[in-house]
A = this chain, B = another copy of it.
């Protein structure tokens, strides 16, 4: 039996591993979960005893296959819930993350099955993140590029946006930027600002934000 908190740690390691590759550092997990580093160390110790992570002291941590399966299960719950909230309860994209976080540990396998069925077995959540399949095999990660890596003139379609910052997400949604949106880069201003064209409207984005928007090229040219 695994506690909610342990599941949260495994999810965190999974996500951070995807972002920066293993090994995942103690402080990165602490930041992600809003907890102090000693707390992480002690929790990671327990996960190691259970064979869910491999750890090298002072170096960092990495999921074992068993740990990855747990993380994928949690992620599947999370993203199915997000999809459900957006599709059937009319939540805005920026509101679904927190609600799904609260619920993801408490739904039964039965609930998961029925939800998936109701939603027609979706493969992508409202932010464009892939939903792990029911067999919990590691999902394909379509090769996308960061919007920040593109140059003026590039035409791209948004693949996914980071779901963690609700305010940012709302800003983007209001500007019409969400998975599936087509846009073109007008300018990369030297002060660290991207200007993109969305449906004929100029939208301004600081570099930091452009870095977490994943896109696919529309013209097979100009890959970074």
Q: Which of A70-127 contact B (CB under 8 A)?
A: 88-91, 95, 98-99, 102-103, 106-108, 110-111, 114-115, 118
Contact between B108 and A106 (Cβ–Cβ < 8 Å)? Answer: no
Q: Which listed residue, B91, B102, B103, B118, touches A88 by the CB 8 Å rule?
A: B118
A143 to B111, CA, bound (A): 35
Contact between A89 and B115 (Cβ–Cβ < 8 Å)? Answer: yes
Q: Which listed residue, B99, B108, B114, touches A108 by the CB 8 Å rule?
A: B99
Q: Which listed residue, B89, B95, B98, B110, touches A99 by the CB 8 Å rule?
A: B110
- Chain B residues, CB < 8 A from A95: 110
- Chain B residues, CB < 8 A from A90: 114
Q: Residue on B with the closest CB to A106?
A: B102
- Chain B residues, CB < 8 A from A108: 98-99, 102
